[in-house]
Structure 1
Amino acid sequence: MARTAVTASLAVLVAVGAAVQPQVTAAAGQRLAVAPAVGLLDVDDRIVDPFLAAEQSRAIVFLFASVDCPISNRYAPVVQRLHDRFAAQGVAFWLVYPNPAETPGAIRAHVKAFNYPVHALRDPRHELVKMTGVSVTPEAAVYDRQRALVYRGRIDDRYVRLGVERFAATQHDLQDALAATLDSQRVSQPSTPAVGCFIADFVY
């Protein structure tokens, strides 16, 4: 029965992906067309369009994560602080897992273990990955209330490159992007390089 339900859910996802061609493919910071319909699975195998689910929000942030990525896991406290600050101001947070090998049970346990106060979605077909243009975990993508992509990149500059870490971040890019978006200002650095585990290595 469970296998039948999952198969049916994946079939619907394929239909959604075939029917709607993603339009948000330009560089972050440009005023883009309304984001297309998106159908992602949550940890209960329900299909969710995160834009529709958060249509009353002032901004939406997608945080791409993976269960076994050390850099991604190191950012859990930062994600918690950002959520505590901005969720009350109308920002919707989604945690997105692009690794198709990570099961709903593993993701659910990961969210609990790291105390993420964020709804988790699965992107095994990399629909949202391609739409946002992210390439690693952790990486963030921010959409404004018109569903235009306004920021894509690192959470902060704590990691200079793989294996090289600052004692503390000197630039808080995601925080600044959210603050600017809530103030109806253009994000000064709409795209920044992120350091982490390569999503392309997640075979699907």
Structure 2
Amino acid sequence: MALTPSNMLPLGTEAPDFSLPDVVSGANVSLSELDSEVATVIMFICNHCPYVIHVQEELLRVVKDYQPKGVKFAAISANDIENYPQDSPGKMKLLAEKLGFTFPYLYDESQAVARAYDAACTPDFYAFDKDRKLVYRGRLDDSTPGNDKPLTGKDLRAALDHMTRGELVGTEQFPSMGCNIKWK
């Protein structure tokens, strides 16, 4: 595990388009299917990263709190499954079912989508407005394994609170920290 920060894609960047298979339904999901009048959150996660495992419960609470407000979510795993078989689509599906994901869990086999988003680590969060412009990127909150800070989701929640109220999101944002994406 190499501790890696987000690359912090420039605010205002248009969401790169994609169509990826959802490991649960088997159907391809495109960015246009995730369009929202409020916000679309794209999360780069994986099964095995201790940083992702650490935030899973709070991540699911954030989704539960904001989906009813019109926010759409999708998670993408882009890890090399030859060297990290625990991140394979079959194991992704098992995790999504076990945790009760209410959002697509997409597999980026070519890693092209992760590269287009300039994703660097898991977890990594991107929130786009109704025009698909990036207004938030970075961390869920400042809790990490072993730092004894409570999981609150405060950073992502603050951005989504502003977006659900039609307000501008502040530009002071902090990179996520986690395992590097396992590039091929």
Structure 1 length-normalised TM: 0.74
1:145 alignment partner in structure 2: 130
Is 1:78 aligned with 2:58? yes
Shift of 1:170: 7.3
What secondary structure sits across from 2:58 in the alignment? helix
Structure 2 length-normalised TM: 0.81
Between Structure 1 and Structure 2, how many residues are aligned? 172
1:182 alignment partner in structure 2: 164
Shift of 1:63: 1.6
> Is this contact kept in 1: 2:143–2:150, CA < 8 A?
yes
RMSD: 2.4
1:195 alignment partner in structure 2: 177
What secondary structure sits across from 2:177 in the alignment? coil
Is 1:69 aligned with 2:54? no
Which sections of structure 1, spanning at least 5 residues, go unmatched? 1-24
Separation of aligned partners in 2, 1:164 and 1:81: 21
In structure 2, do the counterparts of structure 1 residues 119 and 170 end up closer, same or farther at CA, with 3 Å as the change threshold?
closer
In structure 2, do the counterparts of structure 1 residues 185 and 130 end up closer, same or farther at CA, with 3 Å as the change threshold?
farther
Is 1:134 aligned with 2:116? no
Separation of aligned partners in 1, 2:41 and 2:141: 14
Structure showing greater radius of gyration is 1
> Is this contact kept in 2: 1:132–1:152, CA < 8 A?
no
Taking the TM superposition and a 5 Å limit, the aligned residue runs for 1:5-154 are 27-30=9-12, 32-33=13-14, 35-43=15-23, 45-49=26-30, 51-101=31-81, 102-154=87-139
- Poorly superposed stretches of 4+, deviation over 6 Å: none
> Is this contact kept in 1: 2:125–2:139, CA < 8 A?
yes
What secondary structure sits across from 1:147 in the alignment? coil
Shift of 1:83: 1.2
Which sections of structure 2, spanning at least 5 residues, go unmatched? 1-6, 82-86
C-alpha deviations, 1:79-124, integer Å up to 9, x for none?
1111111100100011111113132211001112333332111112
Shift of 1:169: 4.7
Separation of aligned partners in 1, 2:79 and 2:172: 25
Shift of 1:164: 4.5
Separation of aligned partners in 1, 2:165 and 2:51: 30
Amino acid at match of 1:42: D
What secondary structure sits across from 1:167 in the alignment? coil
> Is this contact kept in 2: 1:99–1:203, CA < 8 A?
yes
Amino acid at match of 1:185: E
Amino acid at match of 1:48: V
In structure 2, do the counterparts of structure 1 residues 164 and 73 end up closer, same or farther at CA, with 3 Å as the change threshold?
closer
